[in-house]
Structure formats: structure tokens, C-alpha cells
């Protein structure tokens, strides 16, 4: 626990990638996720002589909320910090006669499918737990998922799980287990430059499902099958197989309508420059493409993609998850 006299506390949580199974995980199919070495860091200072909530964020600037905000929080449901304010209100030990000042420093790009909002929710709940009343990781996770559901009510909870526990993991129906990869995977993120709203994309897929029930059922089963084969490929360190499975997974995501022209273009370039596999990671509709590359061609792949005008960010997996 990182807290000083109960007045200052720090927490940090990582970004994530989804290797297999996004969207179908909302309908209880398995997914494989990993936490990566980009983090949100939060410091909270409790100020007994103030009674306002101050949020300093490098990207979104400084915002003040009077403590009276909690009397009718629903009015702020479109505010960017609604989930954060909600987690404060839900903290059983929070009293309305204290002020809180948050400093948020994040190197997780926002709206790019890397789980920035889940990491922020988990780190916020953990920080508040340090300052008011210590709660266990499982409870932190539960509250963070509740806050995520304010942003998109059909959240599978997968993003919150991976940012809390860290590592490479298989997730299904609210439970997970860690996976070991036999070899280091050379993965790259290629940003489309288009920000997306996970909630809107999850709603879009929900509508697709209700008007294509049989088809969706088949696609969801195919996703499950791909994810199961991917578990074996990860264990065996079979990156050729893993790449093929990523390509198969991408086709399913195209079929449910979450790809777009720019994603298709990047995927085409990944084929051209000999990626073993490439796919959307996260909700799609923009965000990032994830590509698996043979280690030997890493540099030439990056050069070629950059020549085509696309940034290539090497992915480092991490195993710490939530630090608090
Ligand atoms: C978003 O990172 C992953 C989705 O599957 C939504 C969810 O699992 O809540 C698209």
C-alpha cells in the first residue's frame, strides 16, 4: 500500500491489448488479453480544509467539482470524469467534509482500444482505498467494473481484470487464468489515428446480433474455437499458428462490422510486409491494429510501415498489473 499518513496516496495500472476474442467476450466467449508497459499513474491528496474535488490531468486539463456534485451525480453522467466521481461516491468511508485533489498522468493513449478507461477506474478505486479504507483487490475490481458499466453497460469486465492482475491471461465469464507463452512474441501496435467509443461499438454489435441471431451465434462459436486453438499455440510457442489465428479472428471482426477502411488498409499492409498475423485489438472502429512479426524482420517491418505513413509501436508485455 502506497499512502502517507492517510493523506497522500498513489496507484498505477497498465494498458492492455486483446489478442483474441474481443466483442464475443461480452457474450461469454473466451478472450486472451495481456497487460502492456504503458500506465496511468494517479496521486490523490486528501485535504481536510477544502471541500471540492480537483482533477488535474495532463491531457484534459484541470477541473473543479464542488462537493455538492454528489447530491445529484446523475446530472454529470456525460462528464468525462463521471466514473471517477462515481467511485468516490461509492467509497464507503468517503465523507462530504473532505476535499480530494487528483493528479492523473497517463501514457495510455485515450480512445485507442488500449483500456485507458479501465486502467483509470481500477487505479482510482485503489487510490481511494489507500486513503480511506483498505479494500482487497477483488473488491477494487468489482467497483471498477461497476464504474466501467456507466460508460458502457454491457462491459464484459475483461479490461478491468487484466489491468488489475496483469500478465497474459485467458478470460471467460468473470473468471480468468494466467497463460505462459513459450516464446517472446514480437508484437506491434499500429494506430489508425481514429479515436473510438467502446460503448458505441459494443452497442453496434448488440444490434448486429439481434438482427443476425443465427449468424452471430456461428461467428461467436468460431471465435471460441480460434481462442481455444490460440491457447495451445501460445503454450507451444507456435507463432506461425498464432499469426494465422489472428488473421482468422480479424475476419470475424470484419463480419460483425467493427472494421473500417483504414483498418483494412493497415491489415493489407501487414500482409504485404509479411506480418505473421494482424487484427483489431479492442473495440475496433478505429483504435489500433495489432500485428505479430517474426523477430528477424522487426526492423524492416517498422521501416516499411513508417514509409507508408503508419507509426509502429513495439509492444512490451508486463506482469505487475495494479500497483497500489
Ligand atoms: C474492449 O476493450 C473489449 C470489448 O470486448 C468490450 C468488452 O469486453 O467489454 C469490445
Q: What tens digit of pLDDT does each residue of 24-58 get?
A: 999 999 999 999 999 999 999 998 878 899 999 98
Q: How far apart are the C-alpha atoms of 70 and 95, rounded to whole Å?
A: 11
Three-state SS at 255: helix
4 band by pLDDT with thresholds 50, 70 and 90 = low
The pLDDT of residue 134: 85
- Pairing between strand 52-57 and 175-178? unpaired
pLDDT tens-digit map of 143-176 = 999 999 998 889 999 999 999 999 999 999 989 9
The pLDDT of residue 50: 82
- Whether 112 is in the pocket of ligand 1, judged by its Cβ within 6 Å, is no
pLDDT tens-digit map of 294-317 = 999 999 999 999 999 999 999 999
Work out the mean pLDDT of the chain and round it to a whole number: 94
- Whether 145 is in the pocket of ligand 1, judged by its Cβ within 6 Å, is no
Q: How far apart are the C-alpha atoms of 214 and 304, rounded to whole Å?
A: 41
- Whether 158 is in the pocket of ligand 1, judged by its Cβ within 6 Å, is yes
User: What pTM was estimated for this model as a whole?
Assistant: 0.94
Q: Which atom of ligand 1 is the closest one to the Cα of 205?
A: 10
Choosing from 159, 196, 208 the residue with most ligand 1 atoms within 8 A of its CB, the one to mutate for a pocket test is 159
Per-position b or e across 54-72, b if 16+ CB within 10 A of its CB: bbebeeeeeeebebebbee
pLDDT of residue 3 exceeding 60, the answer is no
Active site residues: 159
105 band by pLDDT with thresholds 50, 70 and 90 = very high
Three-state SS at 14: strand
Q: What does the CA dihedral 23, 204, 145, 91 come to, rounded to 10 degrees?
A: 170
Name which residue sits closest to atom 9 of ligand 1, judged by CA. Answer: 155
What structural domains and CATH numbers belong to the chain?
3-179 (3.30.230.10), 187-315 (3.30.70.890)
Q: How many CB atoms lie within 10 A of CB 296?
A: 9
Amino acid at each position: 500500500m502506497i499512502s502517507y499518513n492517510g493523506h497522500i496516496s498513489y496507484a498505477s495500472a497498465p494498458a492492455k491489448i486483446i489478442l483474441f476474442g474481443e466483442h464475443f467476450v461480452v457474450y461469454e466467449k473466451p478472450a486472451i488479453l495481456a497487460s502492456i508497459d504503458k500506465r496511468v499513474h494517479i496521486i490523490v491528496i486528501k485535504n481536510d480544509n477544502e471541500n471540492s474535488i480537483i482533477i488535474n490531468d495532463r491531457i484534459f486539463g484541470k477541473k473543479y467539482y464542488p462537493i455538492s456534485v454528489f447530491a445529484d451525480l446523475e446530472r454529470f453522467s456525460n462528464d468525462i470524469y463521471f466514473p471517477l466521481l462515481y467511485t468516490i461516491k461509492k467509497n464507503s468511508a468517503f465523507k462530504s467534509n473532505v476535499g480530494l485533489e487528483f493528479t492523473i498522468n497517463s501514457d495510455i493513449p485515450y480512445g485507442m482500444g488500449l483500456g485507458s478507461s479501465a486502467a483509470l477506474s481500477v487505479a482510482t478505486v485503489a487510490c481511494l482505498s489507500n486513503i480511506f479504507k483498505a479494500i482487497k483487490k477483488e473488491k477494487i475490481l468489482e467497483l471498477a467494473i461497476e464504474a466501467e458499466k456507466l460508460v458502457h453497460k454491457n462491459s464484459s469486465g475483461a479490461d478491468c481484470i487484466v489491468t488489475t492482475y496483469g500478465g497474459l491471461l485467458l478470460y471467460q465469464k468473470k473468471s480468468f487464468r494466467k497463460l505462459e507463452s513459450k516464446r517472446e512474441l514480437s508484437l506491434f501496435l499500429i494506430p489508425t489515428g481514429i479515436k473510438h467509443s467502446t460503448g458505441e461499438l459494443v452497442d453496434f454489435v448488440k444490434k448486429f446480433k439481434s438482427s443476425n441471431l443465427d449468424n452471430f451465434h456461428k461467428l461467436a462459436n468460431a471465435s471460441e474455437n480460434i481462442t481455444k486453438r490460440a491457447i495451445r499455440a501460445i503454450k507451444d510457442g507456435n507463432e506461425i499458428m498464432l499469426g494465422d489465428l489472428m488473421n482468422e479472428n480479424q475476419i470475424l471482426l470484419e463480419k460483425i462490422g467493427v472494421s473500417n477502411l483504414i483498418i483494412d488498409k493497415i491489415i493489407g499492409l501487414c500482409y504485404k510486409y509479411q506480418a505473421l498475423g494482424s487484427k483489431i485489438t479492442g473495440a475496433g472502429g478505429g483504435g489500433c491494429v495489432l500485428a505479430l512479426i517474426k523477430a528477424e524482420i522487426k526492423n524492416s517491418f517498422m521501416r516499411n510501415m513508417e514509409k507508408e505513413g503508419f507509426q509502429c509501436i513495439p509492444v512490451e508485455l508486463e506482469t505487475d498489473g495494479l500497483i497500489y
